[in-house]
Amino acid sequence: MRYRSEDIHPVLWTAVDELTGRMMTGQASGKAVMAHHSEWTKEYGGEFLRQMAAPLLLMAAGFAMIAAKLPKPISAIVMLLGILWTVVTLIVKTAGNFRQMSVRELEVLLPELKFEGVGRAYAETVLAVGQASLSEEMRSETLQELKRVMDEHERIESARERLSTGARDRPELLEEVIRLKGKMESAKDAEARALFRESLDVAQTRLDSTEHQAAFGERLEAQAELLRQSVLRVRDTLSLPSVDTSTDGGALRQALASVRSRAEAVEKAVQEVQSW
């Protein structure tokens, strides 16, 4: 089985691209690089060589014609055709595999991917899907549900990032409230005291807002953890030898229902934050 572009969430493809870049610059472990090269060769090498045989033979024929001192225009045309064919083959082959990945490739790359939390659980579960005996329909359904999980996870992280801005401002606001309260209490002039009181009320309102944001942030963190646990439940279900996933058994469908329910809950939670 090969994962196609539409099977995997872009966040995983991005992580794979980042890892590939680290491999090319020598920043990944040599063991991982060698293992990936070996798996890539097994998966695509034979097919690649078969497709490259004809254009390379044509180029060799061009060299042979030049060595035999045959007419240069004909030799040049043969050489040019061989080169063009080679380039086109390389482009087509690269484009065809650019967003494909075998199960074994993912297994080799997974330990090196910079993932944690829901993202790590997602990658491990995608691998479990590829290793399980599932019908094509069930495999596709499971991968699409998992992609939705990552969509909701990204929404959670985006919302939490916005809320964290308020949390960072809380210490300064608390100092503001304390300072204004002192100013109000020490003011001798009644009008000045009233103005400081008004400023204090505004600062307190801002502080209360950050408290609400912190509560929403905790709620989203809890939702993210539930989402992760639901994804891991799917992974564990796929890994159980006692579950006959080839018949699309109830255990897997129950696990997917749990994931679907959690994704819907996350969507509602994020909408609540956005409407606040």
* pLDDT(34) > 60: yes
Distance of alpha carbon 2 from the chain centroid: 18
49 and 88 belong to one structural domain: yes
pLDDT tens per residue across span 54-98: 666 766 776 677 677 667 677 677 667 767 766 665 555 554 445
150 and 211 belong to one structural domain: yes
18 and 92 belong to one structural domain: yes
pTM more than 0.85: no
Q: Does 135 fall in a domain?
A: no
Q: Does 49 fall in a domain?
A: yes
158 and 67 belong to one structural domain: no
33 and 154 belong to one structural domain: no
Q: Does 29 fall in a domain?
A: yes
107 and 65 belong to one structural domain: yes
Q: Does 130 fall in a domain?
A: no
> How high is the pLDDT of residue 96?
47
Burial of residue 24, with CB atoms counted within 10 A of its CB: 0-12 exposed, 13-18 middle, 19 or more buried: exposed
* pLDDT(22) > 80: no
186 and 256 belong to one structural domain: yes
Q: Does 134 fall in a domain?
A: no
CA distances from 155 to 6, 41, 151 (A): 20, 38, 6
Helix (H) or strand (E) holding 102: strand 101-102
Q: Does 136 fall in a domain?
A: no
Counted domains in the chain: 2
- Which phi-psi region, left, alpha or beta, contains residue 9 (left: φ > 0; alpha: ψ -120 to 50)? beta
**Which residues span the domain enclosing 226?**
145-275
* pLDDT(198) > 70: yes
162 and 103 belong to one structural domain: no
